[in-house]
Amino acid sequence: MSEPASISSGIAERYATAVFEIAKETKTLSKLESGLDDLSSTLADSAELRDLISSPLYSREEQAQAIAAIAEKMNLEPVLKNALALMADKRRLFVLPHLITRLRDMIAEDKGEVTADVVTAKPLTKAQSEKLAKTLAARVGKDVKINAAVDKSLVGGLVVKVGSKMIDTSIASKLSSLQNAMKEVG
């Protein structure tokens, strides 16, 4: 792990632990999870928000005002609003993606769930997603939450990552291994 990523993860870990413990104590984990989903999708969709949290050109006050307005508009849990305000005050908003990931992991662990990152060539239907979740749940012994993404370069099949295990049944991967085998022969 690179040094900056390690530092960001460490900072995010401390904030995530504090937010998680408070949300658990106040029994607002489900509302926190919903807010994290909204915040994550907004972060993914908004280049301006990504710029705001990572650019040193914005002052503490500008970051604090902007993140407070976003948190208010999204109706985030008070514990998350307060954490975001503190992070803006300490110029730590750059760790927000790590914070979201870590909080999701902590909530899933608390619920006895595991998240499976699934990449497919075409979007999964609801029925396919449910069937895959049941199959993976039987395999890992926990409830599985599917985090789906689409990558057309896979051609077909899917890539599933659950924890440290990865299953790659994509056609692109099979073609690549066939190409390597052919190079070895010729």
Task: Put the strands of the sheet holding 113-120 in their side by side order.
Answer: 143-150, 113-120, 158-162, 165-168
What is the per-residue pLDDT for 2? Answer: 45
pLDDT digits (tens, 9 = 90+) for 87-116: 999 999 999 999 998 999 899 889 888 888
Domain extents in the chain:
3-109, 114-185
What is the per-residue pLDDT for 1? Answer: 42
CATH topology of domain 114-185: Glutaredoxin (3.40.30)
What is the per-residue pLDDT for 25? Answer: 95
Tokens of 82: 């307060």
Triad 24, 27, 31: Cα angle to 5°:
95
Please report, as a single letter, which amino acid is at residue 88. Answer: A
What is the per-residue pLDDT for 4? Answer: 60
- List the CATH code of the domain at 3-109: 1.10.520.20
What is the per-residue pLDDT for 5? Answer: 64
With helix as H, strand as E and coil as C, how does 79-109 read? HHHHHHHHHHHCCCHHHHHHHHHHHHHHHHH
- Flag residues of the chain having pLDDT under 70: 1-5, 186
> Please, are residues 63 and 90 in contact by the beta-carbon 8 Å criterion?
no
What is the per-residue pLDDT for 78? Answer: 95
